Amino acid sequence: MSEEKKDFFVSDISLSYQYTAGNATTRFLNKVAEGKLVAQKCPKCSAVYVPPRGSCPRCGVATEEELELPDTGAVESFTIVHIPIPGNPIVPPYVSAMIRLDGADISFLHLIQEIDLADIRIGMRVQAVWKDKSDWGTTLENIKWFKPTGEDDVDPSVFKFKE
């Protein structure tokens, strides 16, 4: 048997890195470790950021004022992922949703469960489902996923930023 001629080889690359979270994220994550979602507010336009990055991209100013937000909110939009993503352990289909916490002016991505995927919609009210307290760390993974609250949907116009 002749061996097939190969003009390429496969090489795996791995990289370990050290991530410096920075002041704003560190403060946020230390509160997440206590089960609290603490946003930061822009002193100029009053936009509320969660997770906070320490500044407001609209105004270019630091966000010092902190405020605790509830773990409830609404779905700004979402997709249902049907294909396996290389390197991602989550088994499809799963929902990747933009969650807008009550009182926040930006959304973050998280999972939605405890509902038929076909019933998820923009404007649906949701609440965080937390892991057991003994498993909490400095990570948004303390929230397992969001689940519907059963309240009436919000009108999507609430997601529009009002200065």
61 binds other proteins (CB under 8 A): no
Smallest gap from Cβ 12 to other proteins, in A, equals 9
The pairing of beta strand 48-49 with beta strand 65-69: unpaired
Q: For the chain, where are the alpha helices, taking DSSP H only?
A: 23-32
Nearest-angstrom CA–CA distance, 47 and 94: 30
Which of 39, 47, 128, 154 is in the footprint of other proteins by CB under 8 A? Answer: 47
> By rule CB under 8 A, what string of x and - marks binding of each residue 72-111 to other proteins?
----xxxxxxxx-xxxxxx-----xxx------xx--xxx
Q: Cα–Cα distance between 142 and 131 in angstroms, integer?
A: 5
Residues whose CB is less than 8 angstroms from the CB of residue 153 and which lie 6 or more positions away in sequence, other chains included = 74, 121, 123, 124, 125
The verdict on 42 binding other proteins (CB under 8 A) reads yes
Residues near other proteins, by CB under 8 A: 7-8, 11, 13, 19, 21, 25, 29, 42, 45, 47-49, 53, 56-58, 76-83, 85-90, 96-98, 105-106, 109-111, 122, 138-141, 143, 156, 160-161, 163
